[in-house]
Amino acid sequence: MRHGAYVDSLGLTTRLTSPLPPGTPPDVRFGCETTGAEDECATGTGALGRDDIIMHLPVGRPSAAWTTRAAAAMDSARVGSGLVITLEIGQYRVRQRGLRGDKEVELGTRHVVHLPWLTSLETPVAVLQLTGARIAGDGRAQRIGAEGLVARRTSLPVSALGAQALISDAEVEQARTARREDLQGQPLVWQVALRELVRGLIGR
């Protein structure tokens, strides 16, 4: 089942039959802000004066040409807003839990992945993610969100060299068939992420 067909099967949206509008679409970005040549996640002062890694979820506005064509497609379908969902790479923070120092990364809604102990805390992990925006007819984002699919850890030796492990084309292909073994029925990872993202964007 293709991604568009799966979204249709949820019964939450109406597919626009018009072709993709020309121009620059809205660009949703999610991840930590990196600093300098070290490529580490920036920290800020959190509760009780402790430093914490800050995750950012911004969106770039679409071009005028894209907005005009998208608005026409929405009018034709008689809908007040449209969803734009993109597959891209983000930088996520690594957390340490428990006395043993177990490593984990939160990829999305109720989706936490455990990482090997020899995973760097200083270097962010590259995450293949779905980002999305609900766009009004004037091009403004009404809601934005992101759900991670796959994380690529950076080992301590690699991090010590000032490098970061990147997601390969093979891992992108593997994400098509990866399953959530923590959920009943072991659904596909991308289906769970896409469902949660769509529900979040439309407020259900």
Q: In this model, does residue 105 exceed pLDDT 60?
A: yes
Q: What is the mean pLDDT of residues 61-89?
A: 93
CA atoms within 13 A on the CB side of 159: 18
Going by pLDDT thresholds of 50, 70 and 90, the confidence category of residue 136 is: very high
Of residues 181 and 50, the one with the higher pLDDT is: 181
Of residues 201 and 168, the one with the higher pLDDT is: 201
Q: In this model, does residue 193 exceed pLDDT 70?
A: yes
CA 115 – CA 125 distance, rounded (Å)? 10
DSSP β-ladder status, 81-92 and 59-60: unpaired
Q: How far apart are the first and last CA of the chain?
A: 23
pLDDT (0 to 100) of residue 197:
96
pLDDT (0 to 100) of residue 49:
44
Q: In this model, does residue 25 exceed pLDDT 90?
A: yes
In this structure, the chain runs to a length of 204
Of residues 12 and 19, the one with the higher pLDDT is: 12
Residue 169, SS3?
A: helix
pLDDT (0 to 100) of residue 5:
85
Q: In this model, does residue 50 exceed pLDDT 50?
A: no
Q: In this model, does residue 115 exceed pLDDT 60?
A: yes
Amino acid at 60: G
pLDDT in tens, 75-88: 988 999 999 999 99
pLDDT (0 to 100) of residue 2:
65
Going by pLDDT thresholds of 50, 70 and 90, the confidence category of residue 48 is: very low
pLDDT (0 to 100) of residue 154:
61
DSSP structural state of residue 192? H
- The continuous run of DSSP H or E covering 45 comes out as strand 43-45
DSSP structural state of residue 188? B
